[in-house]
Amino acid sequence: MPSPVSDCIFCKIVRREAPASIIHEDEATLAFLDIRPMIRGHALVIPKAHAASLADLPKESSGPILETARKVAAGLRGSGLRCEAVNLWLADGKEAGQEVFHLHFHVLPRFRGDGFGVRTGPDYGRMPERSELDATATKIRDAMGR
């Protein structure tokens, strides 16, 4: 039976069974350059232990991933690459654009006029009534309390 850990490309990078241009490694996380960068310096930060999604990620792993992303962002800003600002991007699920099912943050250097744009979506441009925002917040809050 195929195992997510033995077949997963990012697990292979962790085990050095696949090549990668590594930026940072510590006990819990690894950061390396994306093989198809959207912009020069585009990096990925992963937990070393395989987790397909946010739901699979152990609670204690979320902090270290963000901390490594923070360090990579600082590295990008100091690297001499064009980096005036940084976006963190995480796709959790196929419909959100996730293609590699080993959870990862994209760390994207940004600069004025770089042509990126993510201000879109089915509700983009609409400003809901407070009552609608409150009703939405209630649904999420109730689910989180379960």
Smaller CB distance to ligand 5GP: residue 34 or 56?
34
Q: How many residues in the shown chain lie near ligand 5GP by CB under 6 A?
A: 12
DSSP string, 39-87: STT-EEEEESS--SSGGGS-HHHHHHHHHHHHHHHHHHHHSSSS-SEEE
Smaller CB distance to Zn ion: residue 6 or 136?
6
Return the residue of 23, 29, 32, 50 that touches Zn ion, per CB under 5 A: 50
From residue 63 to residue 102, what is the string marking binding to ligand 5GP with x (rule CB under 6 A)?
Answer: ----------------------------x-----xxxx--
State yes or no: residue 102 binds Zn ion (CB under 5 A). Answer: yes
Question: For the stretch 11-29, what's the b/e string if a residue is b when 16 or more beta carbons lie within 10 angstroms of its beta carbon?
Answer: bbbbeeeeebeebeeeebb
- Strand 85-89 relative to strand 105-110: parallel, antiparallel, unpaired? antiparallel
Q: Applying CB under 6 A, which residues contact ligand 5GP? A: 9, 18, 20, 32, 34-36, 91, 97-100
